[in-house]
Amino acid sequence: RDEKQVAERAEPRLQILGSKVTYSAPRRWTKPQISTRAKLEALQFTIPLPVTGTAAPNTSAIVIAEPNTDKLSLVDFSNSKIPRKYPAGTIIADQTDGDSWRTVLSYVHEGNPPYTVLDRFGVTAEVRVHFRIIFPKEDDAKVTWPKTLSQESSDFIRNLRINEQNKALV
């Protein structure tokens, strides 16, 4: 009985790029818009936020999966996706999990309003995947959605897999 209750709460496993990349998304994230172009698949989720004084009413997350036809390494792939225009000090955390996964947290001071970006990269010999979620700035310390969104994005990262593999130490 307990297993059934856990299964009901668990998010369904979804897949892109055939079944090479699998993930689970929180139920409150909107059904993603899906784009498919020449072997690349991209999903964009809209995530509703409670409307508060300065924050946007929603934010977004994107997942892009594609064959690793040019055999990019994790470092080369992830470095190509992190904006070069970021000034020094923008990246506030950078963690590599094994040789296949990397997570980068950036705070974009110059944004209007400023925002935080969480990038998760996965690379194998066959496939590469990039997950990005934007956290709008929230000044009201009483607001709970940033903690909820942080937990949801951590869950998404833990469930994002290439060939059912993931090393998430985040």
pTM: 0.85
**Residue linked to tokens 């899906």:** 34
Distance of CA 22 to the CA centre of its chain: 13
**53 alpha carbon, distance to own chain's centre:** 26
Mean pLDDT by 10 residues, the chain (170 residues): 40 77 91 88 91 71 95 94 76 90 90 86 94 87 86 92 75
Query: What pLDDT is recorded for position 4?
Result: 39
Of 78, 75, 119, 96, nearest to 169 by C-alpha is 96
pLDDT of residue 41: 93
Adjacency order of strands within the sheet including 21-23: 14-16, 21-23, 161-162
Summarize pLDDT for 42-91 with one digit per residue, the tens.
999 999 987 665 556 789 999 999 999 999 999 999 999 987 776 766 88
